[in-house]
Amino acid sequence: MDPGRFERISEFQWRLPATGGMRVPALLFADEGLLRDMDDKVGEQVANVATLPGIVGAALAMPDAHWGYGFPIGGVAAFDPGQGGIVSAGGVGFDISCGVRLLLTGLKVPELREAAGPLAHELGRQIPAGVGSTGRIRLDDAEFDRMLEGGARWAVSRGWGNAEDLEHCEEGGCVAGAEPLQISGHARRRQRDEMGTLGSGNHYLEVQVVREIHDEVAASAYGLALDDVVISIHCGSRGLGHQVGTEFLREMAIAAPGHGIELPDRELACAPIRSDLGRRYLGAMRAAMNCALANRQILTSLTRESFERLLPRAQLEVMYDVSHNICKEETHLVDGRPRALFVHRKGATRAFGPGNEAVPAQYRAAGQPVLIGGSLGTSSWVLAGTVAGEAASFSSACHGAGRAMSRHQAARRWHGGEVVRELAGRGILVRSPSLRGVAEEAPGAYKAVERVVEVADRAGLARRVARLEPLICVKG
Amino acid sequence: MAASWEHFAHGADIGVRGRGDSLPEAFTGAALALTAAVTDPGRVVPKERIDVRCEAPSQDLLLVDWLNALVFEMSTRSMLFSRFEVTSDGRRLEAAAWGEAVDIARHEPAVEVKGATLTELAVQCDQAGRWCAQCVVDV
């Protein structure tokens, strides 16, 4: 985008003043280079978000913002239910509660080396991934409802994990207010074979090494040290969430005029929070969030089984689990006054600062862990939420790098087999049922996550704590 | 002329577009483009038939419903589709889709489609009578 379109209000903040139907300004967090690299559609989409009823402060775009649907990916917006504020199925997206879970292993890299090949093979066999893959778990109707209400807490109660896992999950692994009654038969049917599956596209399970530490104190609180072996699981609510998004997007798009809402882009389909449709969506979305939390918990358990077979001295502990496609009710200070707001984060991560009571006690002094995903050969990052971010971005930070080229371009530029061989030469073992999928997710198809993370840090959204490099990658 | 399909660029996802001499042909092309987001439609043997019905208040929402009905069938039956027969008056749609079960080795499926979005959604007929039906699908 042309930076000339914006008012530069600080080194890393660019404002689009409220014009036309915009109720608030749009605010983008980026340096000049990142802003120039963003598609013009990002500016258009964030300005569209600013027109939605009840929006508070500004429509925000994180440093990794890119062209999404409705909201930009990397978009954040908060709405006040008392001022006609809305909840948007398009603003949450199809992959409800897609997120990242990080596991500690207690292992150092030298302890993994000889086992890396067999472990890659074992995880590739153990973790259901890719199109048409199915999980081992089938739930009857009553148990399905308990899963939707209980999330990871339900999974632990059924033997997939332990109580300590839950202490280190956002919301303790269970989102309140889920309403299984709002989950349709189609959504249930889509999930029937998909409990405990990874999915495809940019979802993955990676064994990684802590390669750099940027903040010793926070890293120590998080249990991270140089050369530690860790595991990242990136996936969401699977078919159930996709179907919930599909159904409510349609219903909200059709109902919007009846609610007096003029949509600049139908993908922003939404309903007042205080409406029957808004309440039903929130109940369904929270159930889908629990489905995602349960899914990542089951995948954690499957991963533990594999490590017990091959590396029994490893102790897999949940470091943190945080989602990046959500709408959550949170209290934020606006002009010095606490207000209960519904914060949409579409491809953006919650990033509570030090002292926030929602952060596990062990991490509270450091701030909430913010988990930033990579892709195959690229790094992942652990950041920490900041006090400044609470004021600047409703406690939100980036979630990844964002694509630099389309899937089609990537598939034409690279062959999956070459990508796998090149990464093997760098010591990264890839296991995937689809070479085309690997080509579409080639590391070069993504922007440099380091720039995004540096800007997030310098803009005060979240502090850099540790950089992780992949060793084994299971892709769908 | 017969239905044709193409993809168009979108930042993170994939745009699907079908063209034809009628709305049903354009919808057929869009369905082929949907399959092509996952695999080469030429690799999918049309040996098993399923039936789909949809109804929507507008032509463009009918396209979204049609593609989402196929996404649902692909997901729950673990199938891919390569041949379609579509009839529609622009509000109601009845279709048959032929395909087969996903074969990982032969189809090399790249991604699963999560859903059809309302982004870049358009169903249009130009002055020459050529129809175009398109939207972005989330993968």
Enumerate the residues of chain A whose CB falls inside 8 A of the CB of residue B114: 94-95, 242, 245
Of A234, A324, A332, A399, which residue is the catalytic one?
Answer: A399
Using CB atoms, which residue from B10, B68, B110 is nearest to A440? B110
Q: What is the mean pLDDT of residues B25-49?
A: 97
- Which residue among A242, A409, A440 places its CB closest to the CB of B111? A440
Query: Percentage helix, strand, coil, to 5, in chain A?
Result: 40, 30, 30
- pLDDT digit string, tens, across residues B57-80: 999 999 999 999 999 999 999 999
Strands A71-79 and A337-346: antiparallel
Cα distance from B16 to chain A (closest Cα, Å)?
12
Q: Which of B9, B5, B8 is nearest to B18 (CA)?
A: B5
Residues 260-319 in A contacting B (C-alpha not used; CB under 8 Å): 265-267, 269
Give yes or no for A441 touching B (CB within 8 A). no
Answer yes or no: do A250 and B121 touch at CB < 8 A: no
Is A399 catalytic? The answer is yes
Q: How far is CA A213 from CA A216, A464, B40, in A?
A: 6, 8, 44
Put simply, whether A37 touches B (Cβ < 8 Å) is no
For residue B39, the SS3 value is coil
Run of H or E including B72? helix B59-77
Give pLDDT, residue A403: 82
pLDDT of residue A420: 96
Span B71-100, average pLDDT: 97
Q: What is the pLDDT of residue B118?
A: 94
Looking at residue B12, its pLDDT comes to 75
Secondary structure (3-state) at A223? coil
What is the reported pLDDT for A122?
97
Strand partners, B6: B17
- Residues spanned by the domain of B46: 4-138
Question: What are the angstrom distances between the C-alpha of A169 and each of A136, A153, A357, B100?
Answer: 24, 10, 13, 40
B114 touches chain A (CB under 8 A): yes
Maximum Cα–Cα distance for chain A, whole Å?
A: 63
Among residues B121, B120, B39, the alpha carbon closest in space to that of B80 is found at B39
Q: Which residues of A touch B78 (CB under 8 A)?
A: 131-132, 134, 193
What is the reported pLDDT for B1? 62
- Give the domain CATH number at B75: 3.55.10.10
Two tokens, residue A29: 């967090």
Sorted by sequence, the CB contacts under 8 Å of residue A96 that are 6+ apart come out as A236, A237, A241, A244, A245, A285, A288, A289, A292, A325, A326
Distance CA A319, CA A35 (A): 33
Its CATH architecture, for the domain A3-84+96-404+446-475, is Alpha-Beta Complex (3.90)
On chain B, the residues whose CB falls within 8 A of the CB of A409 are: 9
The rounded distance, in Å, linking the Cα atoms of A140 and A128 is 21
pTM of the model: 0.96
State the pLDDT at residue A216: 98
> Looking at the DSSP assignment, which residues form a beta bridge with residue B117?
none
| Burial (Cβ within 10 Å: 0-12, 13-18, ≥19) of residue A44 | middle
Q: What is the pLDDT of residues A368-422, one digit of tens each?
A: 999 999 878 899 999 999 999 999 999 999 999 888 888 888 988 999 999 999 9
In the DSSP assignment, the letter for residue B41 is G
Domain definitions of chain A by residue range: 3-84+96-404+446-475
Which regions of chain A are under pLDDT 70?
none
Contacts of A249 in chain B (CB under 8 A): 115, 117-118
Name the B residues in 15-34 with CB < 8 Å from any A CB.
none
